[in-house]
Structure 1
Amino acid sequence: MTPAVIRWGGFAGSVATAAGAYLGGSGFVRVPSVNPLTLLSGQRGVLLPICWVLGTVLLTGAWWWGRHVVPSTRWALVTAALWLLPVLPFLPLGSADAYSYACQGYVQHAGGDPYAMGVQEFGCPWLDSVATSWRDSPAPYGPLFLILAGWAVGLAGESLAGVIAGLRVIALAGLVLTAVALPVLARRAGRDPARALWLVLACPLVLVHLVSGAHNDALMIGLIVSGLALAASAGRPASARSSPAAVLLVAGGLVLGLAVAVKATAVVVLPFAVLAAAAPGRPSPVPLRALWRPAVAIAGGALLATAALSLVSGRGFGWVAGLARSGDSVTWGSPSTAVGLSVDFVARLLGGEADAVPVTRALGIVLLAVFLVMLWWRARSGGALPGAGLALAATVLCAPVFHPWYATWPLAVLAATGTRLDGAPSDDRWLLGLCAFAATLTLPAGYNWALYTRIPGALVVTAALIALAVVRVRRRRDRKVFA
């Protein structure tokens, strides 16, 4: 395919997706959860599902094949921006989280504590637009995002549409940060900046969920990429730096602290940022004694940023407690949750009762901790930047809940750094395939297919995990036999 076909084919998909937002996006009044086929047909007949499916296919196809024909960074930026424009005037797509953000911003702006109460308790005027599962839940986001959401409410006043527009401005600011920092990160990792920009900014998940859906993940991603770029720049030889290493390290820590103050997930990147700053010019593996200076600078900057924002927000560190409610959604998208659902289903078939989901979720968190330590230890021998992306991927896969836009977390880093710690050429089709699959999981109004296929999906995911484990064990056994 030629660049022109890719650009305008994807734009046609964006227009079709925007039509889907107009016909059946997530409206200002939340419709009770019903059969998804009813939601797709509605009063618009078959036009809504046709637009949604056509838009998804065209966008995903253009993004997938476009990675082979990106002629320049400028072309990638212009094309991605062109694709984003059609959805900006219409209702949010893929989820109703933007309305939760609006109500949490309302509570913050009105002087309430979003970490101590749900938006329903405080009397948000836009409560009818918020999903019922989030009305009594405290905010699980960091103080920076609440300050910004409160700012959007303060500017828009009583206009919900104005608040959504403000939240989209925040999301677009995160994408601008990504567009600026991603080429820097790609060059530090020896990758093609144009291809990295394309894989991230033109991804359908970005258009549907980060821009149209106004998710705060866009801002977190922009800050993560910027912080990693600063840390990696500090590790370059002094002759190649424009600023002293200490300044870059503290700045990188501050920016990563801002990312944590949007969503706590960003904290998994910090140890790899330390490695990225210390690795250049060091023997392999990097000795632990060489890490203390960058560790102090980066950790100090991150702590300073989060502590300052916690105080400025007026809510202290209450946001940490709010994280406990971020796993309220129970679907097979999270592998640990899928295993728990499968155990419960089998127990019921056998005439018993089980409540395995909390147990398997706890085991998933333990497994994540083990993976993160192993990744960091291996990254000492090279691959600090890919290690950060793989740490985000492990977090997505082991977390107790999965939403489609979570796939953009590892994509944003691994697109610029590759997926191999040893620097060898990497096959990123598994990551792109995950993003393409995730783009099909939601309906325009924000209902997730995983909610309607909970048990069948859980059984499929569990069977796939078992099959993968068997294959890995056999491969390791075969390697030992032929060694």
Structure 2
Amino acid sequence: MTTPGASLSRYAGVVGAVLLAVAGYLGGALPDAPLGATPVSIWRAPDGPATLACWLAGTALLVGAWWSLRAGAPSGRWAYVTAGLWALPLLVAPPLGSRDVYSYACQGWTYAHGADPYAVGVAAAGCPWVETVAPIWRDTPAPYGPGFVLLAALAVVLGGGLTGTVVALRVIAVAGVLLAAYCLPGLARAAGVPTRRAAWLALAAPLVGVHLVAGAHNDAVMLGLLLCGLSVAVHRPGRPAALLLAGALLGLAVTVKASAVVVVPFAVLAGASGRTVFRSGAWLGGGLLGALLASSALSGLGFGWVGGLTRSGDSEQWTSPPTAVGFVVDYAGALVGREPQSVPVTRVLALALLAVVLVALWWRTWRVWRRADAGPGGLSGGLSDGSARCRVALRGAGLALVATVVLSPVFHPWYATWPLALLALSAARTTWFVLPAAVAAFLALPDGTNLARFTKAPGAVAMTVLLLFLLLRRSDARALRSWMSAPPH
């Protein structure tokens, strides 16, 4: 039964989404919007005050409405309808929160016109829309896999001009969101989690509407393929054909964004039947390898995209914890007359730590997964053995994505949607991952201006202090172990 509070949240979110769309038309990431803008210059623009007022009010309404029902919507159907209502105004808005869609368009144009997007930047390739691309990305190779390059090229062919290409890219992103929405109920049931909670957290999140729908980020396609692959593995455990298909879907997700690869070891557990982890891993790995080889061969680009990944960290912002720590070390060095240039070092150390964390996390998840069917003394939490194992595997995958986001060289607000979807399906408590996603919704302005660029020193210090606080608080690993074994509400 829908309560008055839930209805108020629904329509407050609708008003918020409409305000965000209005902000987009007044000062969104339009093709002719001035690049390199600052919050001050946006304020001084003819429609600047109205743009910022609509944007901040709309974001606050949408975030507040989402937050108010973080324990779960009245029903799964209600959550889907509300998420759709919130997405409609953003579906017809200009690109919001980022100019990446123009980079996608030019990378697709580069490939469609016979050049290698992994060898040249879009400026050198002669893309006619290069002026719409953020300057930092005009001379860098594409950091995305061949699967997405093929989709971007298809958008260029179907769209013709820039506007048509952007529309086609948004259709592709929305298809990714719809695929994720289709898979969510089945995964929620398999993990013993209420669909009304999983759908609400994963689909109604403001980051989804603003950055995946309006911003047309390719993260939407990656998430759709990830959830689809996991769904196949979960619902047909131990079956070779299903595991091959699941591996292929996960492999396609990797060919969109390489960060999806961290989910694969946990997908093996999700698709294992009983103790057949090794055999399941072999079948799933075969499907993944087949998808990687097929997409690389079909595009004719081979594995040149791997080199492009190294340029994704050209942007330095304190929202990436390793980068923030590097900034603070540099500030401390400057106080004693030195220039340590610590950011590259802290980033490399963080990636090494990520590798260790992922291995330890899989090992821990595997041990918990094995005990999920151990009878009265096990960890089923009142669920069936299959649901308990599924929940453990999905939770491990979600934590792997959390570690990837936290320890990566760069963080953008839409990255928070990666773990959000899987933790919505598996986590016992929600505030710890819902709160950062809510905060991230305020980090960008409608034209793509990233507020982290203008709060470098205070942001880096604040992030470093937060990290120290969390490390001290979580120094006892028992907190993590008890959390992982708790059943979802």
Q: TM-score, normalised by structure 2?
A: 0.90
| Equivalent residue in structure 1 for 2:122, among 73, 95, 119 | 119
Q: Which residue of 2 aligns with 1:304?
A: 290
Amino acid at match of 1:310: S
Aligned to 1:186: 188
Cα separation, partners in 2 of 1:69 and 1:300, compared to 1, 3 Å: closer
- In structure 2, distance between residues paired with 1:170 and 1:476: 43
Once the two structures are superposed, residues 432-473 of structure 1 have per-residue CA deviations (whole angstroms, 9 ceiling, x without a partner) of 001000000001100111111112111111122122223334
Deviation for aligned residue 1:250: 0.9
Q: CA deviation at 1:292?
A: 1.8
Of the structure 1 ranges 58-67 and 97-106, higher mean CA displacement relative to structure 2 is found in: 58-67
CA distance in 2, matches of 1:35, 1:247: 53
Which of 395, 412, 431 is residue 386 of structure 1 equivalent to? Answer: 395
Question: 2:65 — aligned with what?
Answer: 62
Cα displacement (A) at 1:188? 1.3
1:287-311: CA deviations, max 9, x gaps?
A: xxx3221111111001101110111
Pairing partner for 1:262 from 236, 252, 256: 256
* Pair 1:11 & 2:5 matched: no
Give the aligned partner of residue 470 of structure 2: 468
**Counterpart in 2 of 1:239?**
none
- Distance in 2 between the 1:45 and 1:3 partners? 33
Matched to 1:324, the amino acid is: T
- In the aligned structure 1, how far is the partner of 2:293 from the partner of 2:33? 36
* 3-state SS, counterpart of residue 448 of structure 2: coil
Match of 1:334 in 2: 320
Letter in 2 for 1:434: P
Whole-angstrom CA distance in 2 between matches of 1:89 and 1:473 = 47
1:43 corresponds to 2:46: yes
Unaligned runs of 5+ in 2: 370-391, 480-489
Task: Say if 2:131 is the partner of 1:128.
Answer: yes
Aligned-pair distance for 1:7? Answer: 1.6
| Equivalenced residues, count | 453
Partner of residue 433, structure 2: 431
Flag the 1:475–1:327 CA change in 2: closer, same or farther, 3 A. closer
Shift of 1:128: 0.8
Query: Is the Cα–Cα contact under 8 Å of residues 99 and 133 in structure 2 kept in the other structure?
Result: yes
Give the equivalent residue in structure 1 for 2:377.
none
Deviation track 1:59-79 (CA, whole Å, cap 9, x = no partner) reads 001111123452222221121
Checking the alignment, whether the CA contact within 8 Å between 2:27 and 2:33 is kept in structure 1 is no
1:364 aligns with 2:376: no
Q: What is the alpha-carbon distance in structure 2 between the residues aligned to residue 40 and residue 149 of structure 1?
A: 34
| Mapped pair 1:252 → 2:238 | no
**Is the contact made by 1:220 and 1:262 (CA closer than 8 Å) also made in structure 2?**
yes
The structural deviation recorded for 1:41 is 4.1
C-alpha distance in 2, partners of 1:104/1:453? 31
Q: Secondary structure at the match of 1:43?
A: coil
* Deviation of 1:45 (Å): 4.4
2:110 is the alignment partner of 1:107: yes
User: Are the counterparts in 2 of residues 80 and 198 from structure 1 also a CA contact under 8 Å?
Assistant: yes
Moved more, 113-122 or 193-202: 193-202
Instruction: Specify the SS of the correspondent of 2:55.
Output: helix
The 8 Å contact of residues 145 and 256 in structure 2, kept in 1 or not, is answered as: yes
Q: Is the CA contact (8 Å cut-off) linking 1:250 and 1:300 kept in structure 2?
A: yes
Give the alignment partner of residue 177 of structure 2, picking from 167, 175, 178: 175
Is 1:226–1:252's contact at 8 Å kept on the other side of the alignment?
Answer: yes
Q: Who is 1:152 aligned against? A: 155
Change (3 A) 1:473 1:68: closer
Gaps of 5+ in 1: 237-244, 283-289, 419-425, 478-483
SS in structure 2 at match of 1:46: helix
**SS where residue 143 of structure 2 aligns?**
coil
Q: 1:443 aligns with which of 438, 442, 445?
A: 445
Choose which of 409, 413, 427 in structure 2 pairs with 1:404.
Answer: 413
Q: Which amino acid aligns with 2:413?
A: P
Q: Over residues 319-374 of structure 1, what are the superposed CA-to-partner deviations in whole Å (9 max), with x where a residue is unaligned? A: 11111111111000110000001111111121111110010000100111111011
* 312 and 22 in structure 1: CA distance in 2 versus 1, 3 angstrom threshold: same
Question: In the alignment, is the contact (CA less than 8 A) between 1:30 and 1:128 conserved in 2?
Answer: no
The verdict on how the C-alpha distance between 1:368 and 1:125 changes in structure 2, with shifts beyond 3 A counting, is: same
Moved more, 396-405 or 451-460: 451-460
Partner of 1:481: none
What is the rounded CA distance, in whole Å, between the counterparts of 2:263 and 2:47 in structure 1?
45
Are residues 45 and 32 of structure 1, via their aligned partners in 2, closer, same or farther at CA, if it must alter by over 3 Å?
Answer: closer
Instruction: Give per-residue Cα distances to partners, 1:97-132, cap 9 Å, x unaligned.
Output: 000000001001111110000000011010110000
Classify the secondary structure of the residue corresponding to 1:235: coil
Superimposed CA distance per residue, residues 217-253 of structure 1 (whole angstroms, 9 cap, x where no aligned partner): 00000111111111112228xxxxxxxx122111110
The answer to whether the Cα contact below 8 Å between 1:176 and 1:222 also exists between their aligned partners in 2 is yes
**Relative to structure 2, which stretch is displaced further, 293-302 or 78-87?**
78-87
Please give the alpha-carbon distance, in whole angstroms, between the structure 2 residues aligned to 1:275 and 1:78: 33
CA contact (8 A) 2:361 2:400 kept: yes
User: Aligned AA for 1:97?
Assistant: D
- The letter of the residue matching 1:179 is A
Structure 2 counterpart of 1:161, from 159, 163, 166? 163
Say yes or no: does 1:271 pair with 2:257. Answer: no
CA change 1:41–1:113 in 2 (3 A) is same
Residue type of the alignment partner of 1:130? V
Would you say the 8 A contact 1:25–1:91 is kept in 2? yes
Check conservation: 2:72, 2:198, Cα contact below 8 A. Answer: no
Deviation at 1:387, TM superposition (A): 0.2
Structure 1 residue 475, shift from structure 2 partner: 8.9
Alignment partner, residue 96 of structure 1: 99
Measured in 2, the distance between the counterparts of 1:252 and 1:261 equals 14
Give the letter aligned to residue 153 of structure 2.
G
187-196 vs 203-212, greater mean Cα deviation: 187-196
Contact 1:115-1:138 at 8 Å conserved across structures? yes
Computed over aligned residues only, the root mean square deviation of the Cα atoms, in angstroms, reads 1.6
Q: Deviations over 1:8-30 (max 9, x none)?
A: 11100000000010111012035
SS in 1 for 2:419: helix
Aligned residue identity for 1:339: V
- Report percent identity of matched pairs: 52
- Describe the SS at the equivalent of 2:316: coil
* Counterparts in 2 of 1:452 and 1:181: CA distance versus 1, 3 Å: same
CA contact (8 A) 1:2 1:69 kept: no
Match of 2:361 in 1: 375
